[in-house]
Every structure is written in C-alpha cells, then in structure tokens.
Chains A and B, each alone.
Chain A
C-alpha cells in the first residue's frame, strides 16, 4: 500500500536549520509530485511548496523563499525539506503529501513536529 513515512521529531535552536525526510513506498515515485504543508499549533494548513521528482526546479511559496530547500532522491524514493534560519514561529508540524495527475493530496506522511526552542 502507499506509504509516506517521515523522519522523527526535531528540536532546534533559533537560527539553526532542520531537514525533514519523507520516504515513500507502494507507488512509482516519479509519477507523483511531492508537496510540503505546515501546520502551526492550533492553526490551519499552509502550503510550503512542491517538487517534481523527475527534475526541474521546485516551486516555493513566497513566504519561505530563500529559507526552504526541497529535494528528492530517486534512488531511495525519498523527498526532503530543509528549512534554515529557524525562528520560534517555525515551530510546527510539517507534512509531506503527494499529488498525482488526477488526484490531489490522497496520501500524507504522519507529520514531523519541529520545535524551535532556546
């Protein structure tokens, strides 16, 4: 079955970077875009950006341009999202999800809690 399994919770200090991974299985990795969604505590869903595993430049939401880097590793069917220069406001759950030609976000990772604390 389709699975997106994310890396575990992280704690970082302000100014540091964090990298979240999303290992996929159960489908052909190259045929689905990977999106990253953020959810701050008690808040709604925010779209961070998207990457096409077949290549090309990722597209990032304006809010995070310059701080976020999305990559994929086709040899392991894994997507990664790195966020730099963290602030307290970056404390949130980060989700990966996939989008196919027909279906939007039909499978999600379990979420990765990132806590920014001094």
Chain B
C-alpha cells in the first residue's frame, strides 16, 4: 500500500499568513494526489484534485503543486475559516490511502 506522510502534524499561524502543507508518498502517484479540508464535526470537503485542480467553489487562495512523490498545498493568505485539519489522499490505485492529517491552528 502507498503510505502518505504529511508534515507538519500541526501548523500554528495567524490569519493573513501563508500556509504551506506537505504530503510525501512512499512511491510515485503520478498526479493523482488530492487534498481535503475537515472542520470539527463535519465531513471532509474536497479542495484540490489531481495535484493542482481546485474543486468547484474553492477560493483561489488554495493551490496545489508537486509531482511524483512530493506535493504541497498552499493557502496564500489565511482566513479564519481555514483553520481546520487537512488530509492528502492518493487515488492512483486501490487501496486508496490518506495521510495522517495536518492540523492548522490559530497562533
């Protein structure tokens, strides 16, 4: 199975700052890397699919990049509603796997 490792586990930033979240895969996943946001008590929400494509309704401050085994989610200027947990997921092959998550908290 493909293991996804996210870093950091927790990121403490202030509104308006830039956030950079990392996801590393144990083997190449082509561009089939996806990012989700999960707020407390809610289902995950699709943010970015296939490395860099924003899902419908996702603000332009969210962007994704990377290739092969190393991927990044960037939030250019944090809004209060962006403080949540972020998961990466690979969908190159079953079993699909998720990273362990990065908690983005208010500093």
User: Which residues on A are within 8 Å of B, measured CB to CB?
Assistant: 35, 37, 44-47, 50, 59, 61-62, 95, 97, 99, 103-106, 108-111
Contact = CB atoms under 8 A, between A and B. Distances in A.
Contacts of B38: 45
Chain B CB within 10 Å — which of A50, A62, A104 has the most? A104
Contacts of A109: 43
Nearest to A105: B46
Contact of B55 (A37, A46, A62, A106): A106
Interface of B: 1, 34, 36, 38, 43-46, 49, 55-56, 87, 89, 91, 94-101
Contact of A104 (B1, B46, B56, B100): B46
A59 B1 CA distance: 14
Given A104-B89, A106-B55, A47 B95 contact: yes
A103 B55 CA distance: 8
Contact of A44 (B56, B94, B95, B99): B99
* Top 6 A-B pairs, shortest CB-CB distance: A108-B43, A45-B98, A47-B96, A61-B95, A106-B46, A44-B101
